[in-house]
Amino acid sequence: MQRRAREAQAIGMVAARGRSRRKILWWLGPLGDYCRVLPGVFISALLPTSLLMATQQQTNPKGAAPAPPSQVCTAPPATCNASCKAGRPGGEGEAAVEPAQHASTQGPVDMSNFRYTHAIVCRLPDSYKSSALGLSGPVDLPKARKQHEMYVASLREIGLDVIELPADEKHPDCVFVEDVAIVCNGTALLTKPGHPDRKNEVVYMREILKNELELPVIEITDKNATLDGGDVLFTGKEFFVGLSSRTNQAGACALASAFPEFHCTPIKASLSVMLLYTVENSLHLKTAMTMCGPDVICVGSTPSVQNILKRIVKEAMFKYQTVTVPDWVAANVVFANGFLLHRSAEDYPETAKVFEEKLSHWTLKSQDFSEFEKANGSLTCCSILIRKTRHLKNIM
Ligand code: CIR
């Protein structure tokens, strides 16, 4: 591990200095205080559900300005000790979804949650070609490396300091760093990858997050929890967690506990999408939908994906617009610092057209990614985006 850390430095990684602290909670209402301090189970025992729901509606009406963090509290199930609806994942149901024609015309937008300073990526090991999970065709390794280099170059053009980890031959899927850590508000949560072959990928990531980026790192203690970062959709205001073959309810609860300042809603994301489109059941929630602007979700048009979107919209605490693309795999985009990195016209011509038409108010960057899709990988999978906030001591 130490050897890999030294290697990483040697290949020119940019290691940011200065400590990050948890976001300062600048406002806490009385109910918010209770929600943070008392275990959720205790809260739900104290207050009737109707009161909790009423409070929730009062503080977070859809379409209204977001309530300050911590005002959000839903009655959690007995198994979950966090502000999380993990006991009742979003089910089937109708919900209104508004298409975004031109998101930039919707008034002032808050970009702050989509501004980043750093990205962590990992180089591609040779073992990827033969041993990556869920391979659906022969990988052209030199082509894959070229595509990855372009991807990293794009992240740099977006203005990010890119920390490039050396390839780990023992972990053929190590290039998909997104799955092993979730970084939000200056705090990192190390995940518990749902596939046994990927569990040890967290070892090196822990080292980098703690010692190079100097981020506070939260570990999941529940031994039954599984959580892949690819199942975690952060909208800038709340989390949705796909319950999939890789992520379970205990994993969703762990996320909710790690980031109590945000509402967290588990969404059953597995069934139809996976059965229809993958052999190996390794698809994540974010494969078929990601943020493509503040409050705008980019989503595939297939019925099963639209069904998942409906559940999200129905359960959401905030209102979102959508951009629908014909190729559901190409709905996975990286939105950062006013740039939108999306699948190229060579990979998905129809979807690329939609981006040109509807999202050209962002700086569009297109990316060939065919060799990663062969292992169920998509654009967000290959990086962890981080915003290093100012040192707390410096601003106090
Ligand atoms: C796996 O099955 O774990 C990898 N072959 C693909 C991981 C893709 N990651 C992601 O969607 N976040």
**Which CATH number covers residue 289?**
3.75.10.10
3-state helix, strand, coil in the chain (%, to 5): 35, 20, 45
Same domain, 32 and 81: no
Q: Whose CA is nearest to atom 11 of ligand 1?
A: 230
Q: Does residue 341 form part of some domain? A: yes
Q: What is the mean pLDDT of residues 113-124?
A: 96
Confidence category of residue 66, pLDDT binned at 50, 70, 90: very low
Beta bridge partners of 265: 240
Same-domain status, 16 and 142? no
Q: Which of 17-31, 83-97, 197-211, 272-286 has the highest mean pLDDT?
A: 197-211
Is 217 near ligand 1, meaning CB less than 6 Å away?
Answer: no
Q: Whose alpha carbon is nearest atom 8 of ligand 1?
A: 377
pTM: 0.77
Rounded to the nearest angstrom, the distance between the alpha carbon of 67 and the centre of ligand 1 is 34
Average pLDDT, the chain: 77
pLDDT tens digits, residue range 194-209? 999 999 999 999 999 9
Average pLDDT over residues 110-118: 90
The answer to whether residues 144 and 45 belong to one domain is no
Q: Flag whether 106 is in a domain.
A: no
The reply to whether 13 and 27 lie within a common domain is: yes
Judge if 166 and 228 occupy the same domain. Answer: yes
How does strand 296-300 pair with strand 289-293? Answer: antiparallel
Listed in sequence order, the residues at least 6 apart from 3 whose beta carbon sits closer than 8 Å to its beta carbon are none
Half-sphere CA count of 16, side-chain side, radius 13 A = 24
Strand order in the sheet with 334-336: 334-336, 339-343, 363-367
In a domain, 373, yes or no: yes
How many angstroms is it from 284 CA to the middle of ligand 1? 8
Annotated catalytic, 174?
A: no
What pLDDT digit, counting tens, does each position of 214-268 carry? 999 999 999 999 999 999 999 999 999 999 889 999 999 999 999 999 999 999 8
Task: Return the residue matching tokens 């008034």.
Answer: 107
Domain with 78 in it: 65-95
- Ligand 1 near 376 CB (within 6 A): yes
Locate tokens 């990316």: which residue?
367
User: How far apart (Å, rounded) are the C-alpha atoms in residues 389 and 372?
Assistant: 31
Ligand 1 centroid, distance to 359 Cα (angstroms) = 26
Question: Is 107 domain-assigned?
Answer: no
Same domain, 282 and 355: yes
Is residue 102 assigned to a domain? no
**What is the per-residue pLDDT for 81?**
43
- Among residues 284, 292, 298, 342, the one annotated as catalytic is 284
Percentage of the residues of the chain whose pLDDT score is greater than 70: 67
**Same domain membership, residue 146 and residue 274:** yes
- Give CA angle at 94 (256, 75), nearest 5°: 30
> 4 and 28 share a domain?
yes
Q: Is the CB of residue 230 below 6 angstroms from any atom belonging to ligand 1? A: yes
- Pick the closest to residue 5 from 219, 215, 211, 216 (CA basis): 211
Residue 90 DSSP SS3: strand
Q: Over 60: is that where the pLDDT of 381 sits? A: yes
Number of domains composing the chain: 3
Q: Which two tokens stand for residue 61?
A: 């009406």
* Ligand 1 atom showing the smallest separation from residue 231 Cα: 12
Which residue's CA is the nearest one to ligand 1's atom 1?
133
By most ligand atoms within 8 Å of CB, the mutation choice from 280, 290, 381 for ligand 1 is 381
- What pLDDT shows up at residue 72? 26
Instruction: Give me ligand 1 centre to Cα 239, in Å.
Output: 19
Residue 118 sits in the same domain as residue 160: yes
Q: What is the pLDDT of residue 334?
A: 98
Q: How far, in Å, CA of 254 to CA of 248, rounded?
A: 10
From the candidates 122, 253, 264, 381, give the one annotated as an active-site residue.
381
Residue type for position 55: T
Same domain as 186, residue 128: yes
> How far does residue 168's CA lie from ligand 1's centre (Å)?
16
Does the C-beta of 194 come closer than 6 Å to ligand 1?
A: no
> How is residue 168 written in tokens?
């780990």
Measured from the Cα of 193, ligand 1's closest atom is 3
What per-residue confidence (pLDDT) applies to 83?
Answer: 52
Going from the Cα of 248 to the center of ligand 1, the distance in angstroms, rounded, reads 16
pLDDT at 80 over 60: no
> Tokens at residue 265, please?
């809603």
> What is the structure's pLDDT at 377?
95
Of 69 and 183, the structure prediction assigns the larger pLDDT to 183
Rounded CA-CA distance 70/31 in Å is: 8
Which of 272, 296, 300 is CA-nearest to residue 286? Answer: 300
